[in-house]
Amino acid sequence: MSAPQTPAKPLAGYRIVDLTTFLSGPFCTQILADLGADVVKIETPQGDSSRAIPPHFVGDDSAYYLGINRSKRSLAVDMKQADGLALVKRLIATADVVVENYRPGVASRLGLDVEALRAEHPGLIWAAVSGFGQTGPWRDKPAYDMIVQALSGVMSLTGEPGRPAVRLGIPAGDIVAGMYATIAINAALADRERTGQGRVIDVSMLDCQLAMLSYQSTYALVAGTLPQPQGARHDSIPTYRSFVARDGRELVVTANTERMWDGLCQALDRADLIADPRFATAALRLANRTALWPLLEEAFLARDAADWIAPLDAKGVPVALIKTVPEALADARDHGRSMILPLTDASGTSIEVVGNPIKFVDGDGLTADDATYPPVLGADASPVLGEWLGLEAAEVTRLFDNKTLVRRAPAAPAQEDRNVA
């Protein structure tokens, strides 16, 4: 009896022309590649600028680039040449989706007029990610992650009360825009199945940050509040916060129900707090939080942070140590969910990257992750142009000879990370 066939990935067979650089766009197209799409990264002859971001490098490419470009193929095309622009247009004509994160108007100046391309190919989906969108008074302003974190109000909520605003430790402005673009692309693909028509998608980094304000925006809009930084606390739940233990390490508890409040008090050997009239209800605990917090803080100093996990777990109180990034990655490596992926290139160079969090159940387990090493600049011209456009080897060679296409020779196997000050 033959073994069951592994289902194809959901986006297998879809072709994506990736005109993106740096982070928001490449993060979007990496998700599409993880889901099975054939993503062809169109780069300038100099390559995506993120390939050169210091301080960490493996071979010729930065760790920054390697973390957001797996499972793609690369063509390096000089679109300033007529042959180069024509080649990209031919690729777009065979594609399902184009993703770009130019500033508004740049695609047209490069010779890629969206409406003209869609008039020729009505099923084409064009996804544009920009700082402030394709319309509006700020459309031409440059935007980076911290700019949209600042303008959206996100930074005003981050940090400790009474202290200066703090940027989130992750590039949420870029990452969230990439995620929303991916959602929109998948919705447009589903819509095209019904209508046969593509869509133009306009994703603004600032809009995405505003959407991520969640209940804080609702508090401001509905109640007229001015949300403030919370530090490692919660506006509404005083027992949803971090604490410092005897050894100086921090842990968090999220005791947000009456049962959890009782469990917290019992685990801390402070059952007397349950009967204290100041803390009898969630509303009273919030009103009297400045009296409650010192009592809880003192109780947590009785043990080391790790020693609090078992007693709190036993009482049904959600609890976690605040891990460092290396500790969190070590946990992920041990959890068996393929969240730490080993990737090896043709030369034998191996790296690890964080994997795809979208999992599909196949039979009794999760589908295998078969990601590939991020591409060398221009390395995939011959197979892509043969598969997508049917070009013969002689024509591809001509394009290399006249510098319409370029490619970088694969680096020798890297022995270790190269740091640049």
Interval 196-244: pLDDT, tens: 999 999 999 999 999 999 999 999 999 999 999 989 999 889 999 999 9
Q: Are residues 350 and 310 in the same domain?
A: no
Q: What pLDDT was estimated at residue 5?
A: 64
Give the residue carrying structure tokens 């795809």.
356
Domain assignment of residue 1, yes or no: no
Query: How far apart are the C-alpha atoms of 33 and 290, rounded to whole Å?
Result: 50
Is the whole-model pTM more than 0.75?
yes
Domain with 172, as residue range(s), is: 15-212+343-419
Domain assignment of residue 9, yes or no: no
Q: Are residues 283 and 391 in the same domain?
A: no
Q: What pLDDT was estimated at residue 4?
A: 56
CA angle (394, 398, 399) in 5-degree steps:
120
**Domain finish residue from 322, 354, 384:** 322
Tokens of 392: 């013969």
Tokens of 95: 């594609």
Domain assignment of residue 142, yes or no: yes
Q: What pLDDT was estimated at residue 235?
A: 86
Domain assignment of residue 409, yes or no: yes
Q: How many domains does the chain have?
A: 2
Nearest of 280, 266, 53, 77 to residue 171 by alpha carbon: 53
Question: Catalytic residues, which ones?
Answer: 174
Q: What pLDDT was estimated at residue 7?
A: 79
Q: Are residues 403 and 260 in the same domain?
A: no
CATH code at 361? 3.40.50.10540
CATH code at 244? 3.30.1540.10
Domain assignment of residue 223, yes or no: no
Q: Are residues 318 and 348 in the same domain?
A: no
Query: Which residue ranges of the chain lie beneath pLDDT 50?
Result: 1, 414-421
Q: What pLDDT was estimated at residue 419?
A: 40
**Any alpha helices (H) in 288-402, and if so which ranges?**
289-300, 309-314, 325-334, 381-389, 393-401
Q: What pLDDT was estimated at residue 363?
A: 64
End-to-end CA distance of the chain: 59
Q: Per residue in 99-121, pLDDT tens? A: 999 999 999 999 999 999 999 99
Q: What pLDDT was estimated at residue 326?
A: 97
Q: Are residues 162 and 292 in the same domain?
A: no
Q: Are residues 46 and 191 in the same domain?
A: yes
Task: For 340-357, give the secondary structure using H, E and C.
Answer: EEEEECCCCCEEEEECCC
**Domain finish residue from 290, 322, 354:** 322
Task: For 152-206, give the secondary structure using H, E and C.
Answer: HCCHHHCCCCCCCCCCCCCCHHHHHHHHHHHHHHHHHHHHHHHHCCCCEEEEEHH
Coil, strand, or helix at residue 102? coil
Label the pairing between strands 56-58 and 418-419: antiparallel
Tokens of 143: 């935007």
Give the residue carrying structure tokens 């210091």.
54
Q: Are residues 299 and 361 in the same domain?
A: no
Q: Are residues 358 and 393 in the same domain?
A: yes
Domain assignment of residue 219, yes or no: no
Taking a C-beta distance cutoff of 8 angstroms, is the pair 252, 317 a contact? no
Residue 215 CB contacts under 8 Å (≥ 6 apart), including other chains: none
Q: Are residues 166 and 276 in the same domain?
A: no
Q: Are residues 317 and 413 in the same domain?
A: no
Domain assignment of residue 249, yes or no: yes
Q: Are residues 197 and 67 in the same domain?
A: yes
Q: What pLDDT was estimated at residue 14?
A: 98
Q: What pLDDT was estimated at residue 418?
A: 38
Domain assignment of residue 232, yes or no: no
Q: Are residues 19 and 124 in the same domain?
A: yes
Nearest of 293, 231, 225, 229 to residue 264 by alpha carbon: 293
Ranges of beta strands (E only) in 224-337 are 240-244, 250-254, 319-321
